[in-house]
Structure 1
């Protein structure tokens, strides 16, 4: 079961049915969804995705998905899940509401999920895939120590940056660049 995680300002907790409207609003905001997957989807698709979190993820304990809150207010979505972008790897995924941008919450959120991946899941590395024009997310990843591994050209033209944060094997802790 997806555990609750806490940072200085954020609480990451499993979604509950009452989160549907906030989830859909986040995914329908094109300022946010332009950077997610294949871009904006229909409202109907986003609602179906929300309910699949319960039936296809939580029910079978497939991977961890969180609602992200600051002072009890929904400010985003986060996941850590298996990926084949790096065979056998795990990928960090997050999205914050536009109102939450520019306050360091992305860095705080990404650090918390990476720490969870290393300390609880026992991962040796966490990966991120970011659209090349999404300079804000690339900067967040670089700030916490992710390194650019390769570019992955997409069929429709854009380039996705594949970035990786490795856990130092000697100490078992994450080195972060300030």
Structure 2
């Protein structure tokens, strides 16, 4: 779409053994009032930890390269796997959005801590 062509935010393709299996992005959104992480994997890539690795990398980019103090995610309430993944990473439920089609979208937020799994530990000084 024209949004991607204008390079308004960072987007990455996810490849496994040369095959495209998903994508990730981080972008400012009005829905969350900040930067939202987005990740999607093809079903054949599910269940092997790629989603966790991908979400950690995008969060790390937000906290590191972009210097954000918080990142957000929106997930359909029925997506238990993604909600569990985000909860394991420290995201907290903030509010729900009732969509026009009757579904519920959960808005979650992760506030930058001193260190998270996306930040390497210092090897200096013990």
With structure 2 as the length reference, what TM-score do the two structures score?
0.86
Q: What is the number of residues matched between the two proteins? A: 118
Partner of 2:73: 128
Give 1:32's aligned residue.
Answer: none
Question: What is residue 4 of structure 2 aligned with on the other side?
Answer: 57
What is aligned with 1:96?
A: 41
Assess, with a 3 A threshold, how the Cα gap between structure 1 residues 155 and 65 changes in structure 2: closer, same or farther. same
- 1:80 correspondence with 2:29: no
**C-alpha displacement at 1:91, in angstroms?**
0.6
Q: 1:68 to 1:175 in 2, by over 3 A?
A: closer
Secondary structure of residue in 1 paired with 2:13: strand
Corresponding position: 1:161 with 2:106:
yes
**1:23-42 CA deviation, whole Å, 9 max, x = no partner?**
xxxxxxxxxxxxxxxxxxxx
Alpha carbons 1:129, 1:161 under 8 Å: kept = yes
Partner Cα separation in structure 2 for residue 159 and residue 70 of structure 1: 32
Please state which structure has a larger fraction of its residues in strand. Answer: 2
Could you tell me how far 1:73 is from its partner in structure 2?
Answer: 2.0
Which piece of structure 1 moves more, 68-77 or 119-128? 68-77
- The answer (yes or no) to whether the contact 2:56–2:117 under 8 Å persists in 1 is no
Q: Give the superposition deviation at 1:77.
A: 1.2
Greater fraction of residues in helix:
1
Q: Point out where structure 1 has 5 or more consecutive residues left out of the alignment.
A: 1-51
Note the aligned Cα RMSD (angstroms). Answer: 1.6
